[in-house]
Amino acid sequence: MSTNHPPAQALPTRQPAAAPNAQQPPRPVFGSFWMGGFESACQINSRGQRLDMIAQTQHDRFAFQDYRNLHGVGIAAARDGVRWHLVDRGSHYDFRSLTPLVQAARQADVRVVWNLCHYGWPTNVDVLAPSFVDRFARYVRAVVQHIRDLTDQPLAFVPINEISFLAWGICTDCIIYPYAFGHGRAVKQQLIRAAIAACEAIWDVDPAARIMHVDPIIHVVPPRDQPDLIEAARDQHNTQWEAWDMLAGRHEPHLGGHPRYLDIVGVNYYHANQWEHPDVRLRWEDVPLDARWVPLRTLLDEVHRRYGRPMVMAETSHFGDGRARWISSVGHQLCESMSQGVPIDGVCLYPIIDRPDWDTEGHWHNSGLWDIHPQPDGTLKRRLNTDYAEAFERCRAMLESAQARS
C-alpha cells in the first residue's frame, strides 16, 4: 500500500532544561561520543521461548566489570535495558533485576541510556489491548522514579526499542510474540501511543530527562529488470519514517504525536540495512560495491534534513572478521558527514560484548568488542577482540580529529 509522507523538513528543536554556555564547545548529548550497547532483548522468540539477553551474557552478574571495561577503550556511556517482564509483577514492582545495574553504572561512572521495552513484556500483557498503554506508562513512571532515587546522573531513556522493526517482527516475519501476522498497522499505532505515554511519564518524574527514539535507517531499491516494482520499493523505503513521523505528529496525528516527543533520533545501521525489494541484501562487502548502494553519509544527511534533531547512531557493528573493516568504513563515512555539516552526537557499538542468537541455542554471533569465552565453571569470560579494538581506536582518533576541525 502506498503511504503518503509529509515533505522532508526539519522539526523545531525541543529546548533542554538548561541552555549550555555558548562559549563552551558542544558536548555529546549523552556526555560521551562513544557508547557501548549491552544487548537486552527479552521477548518471546519464534520458538516460544522467553529470552533474557542480560542474563544470557551474564551482564547481570558482571555489570560493574562490563561498565569499567568501557573506560579502558575510551567509552563513558552505554545503552542498557530494564526487563519489563521481571520488574512489573502486576500488583507491585520488583526492582531486584534493575537495582544492581543502576548501582554498578553509578559506581563505574558510566552514563546509561535505558531501554524500557526491548521487545518483551509480561506474559499477561496484550500489546493490542486498550490497557497496554496505561500499563506501560505506569511501569515507566515507576522505573524512572526508582532510577532517579538511586543516582544523580542525568537520565536518558529509549521508551520502546525499534518501533518499526518490532512491529515488523511481530506482524510480518513473526519472529516475536504475539506473532500477529497482518496486523502491522494496528501494532505500530499502539506502540506509538505507548511511547508517547511513556514520554509524558518520564518527564513527569524528571523534566530534564532526554528521550531517544531508535529505529533502523534503510535503503531499498527495485530490481534492475523490474521497473514495475519502483513504487513498491519506494514505499518499502519510506516505512523507515513512519514511527518518527507519528511520534512528531506529522503522520496520523490522531495518535497524539507532537514535535516535542521527537527529542533525539537514534539510527541503527548494519550490513543488511540496504536491499533490493523485497528482501535481497545489497552486499557491502563486495568490491566494487553495487552501484545502487548508498553511502552511509547520504542516509544520515537524509535523516538530518528531515528532522533537524540531535542524531545518534544508536547501534552499529558487524561480526567475525568483518568487525574491524566495518567500524573503519563507518568511521570514514562519519568523518565525511561531519565535514559536510551533518551533526552526529554519538555512536554506540552494539553489542559491546558478544551476544547469542535469538533462535539458535548455543550460537554466538562474534559481534562484540569483547568476545565471550565460556569457562569450566560456567562463567562467561570477556576477552577484548584485538583486531576490532585496534580498528576502533584508529576510528576514534580519526573522528576526534574530524570533530576538532568541524
Residue 19: is its pLDDT beyond 90? Answer: no
**292-309, pLDDT tens digit by residue?**
999 999 999 999 999 999
d(CA 145, CA 168): 31
279-288 residue pLDDT tens: 999 999 999 9
Query: Cβ-count burial of 2 within 10 angstroms (0-12 exposed, 13-18 middle, 19+ buried)?
Result: exposed
Region 345-374 average pLDDT: 97
> Which residue did the predictor score with more confidence, 24 or 242?
242
pLDDT band at 4 (very low <50, low <70, confident <90, very high): very low
pLDDT digit string, tens, across residues 189-232: 999 999 999 999 999 999 999 999 999 999 999 999 999 999 99
Burial environment of residue 399 by CB neighbours within 10 A (0 to 12, 13 to 18, 19 or more) = buried
Which residue in this structure is represented by grid cell 513473526? 174
The radius of gyration of the chain from alpha carbons, rounded to an integer in Å, stands at 20
Q: How far apart are CA 77 and CA 9, in angstroms?
A: 30
pLDDT at 26: 58
Which residues pair with residue 37 across a beta bridge?
79
pLDDT at 404: 81
Q: What is the DSSP letter of 240?
A: G
Helix (H, G, I), strand (E, B) or coil at 161: coil
CB 157 within 8 A of CB 209: yes
Residue pLDDT, tens place only, 321-355:
999 999 999 999 999 999 999 999 999 999 999 99
| Torsion sign over Cα 338, 342, 345, 347 | negative
| CA–CA distance, 117 with 106 (Å, rounded to integer) | 22
**In this predicted model, what pLDDT tens digit does every residue of 96-135 receive, in sequence order?**
999 999 999 999 999 999 999 999 999 999 999 999 999 9
DSSP E strand boundaries for 86-209: 111-115, 156-158
> In this predicted model, what pLDDT tens digit does every residue of 136-191 receive, in sequence order?
999 999 999 999 999 999 999 999 999 999 999 999 999 999 999 999 999 999 99
Tell me what pLDDT residue 11 has. 60
pLDDT of residue 17 exceeding 90, the answer is: no
- Judge contact between 343 and 310, C-beta under 8 A: yes
For residue 330, give the nearest of 392, 276, 282 by alpha carbon. Answer: 392
Which helix (H) or strand (E) element contains residue 198? helix 184-205
The pTM of the whole model exceeds 0.75: yes
- Closest Cα to residue 312, out of 268, 365, 367, 362? 268
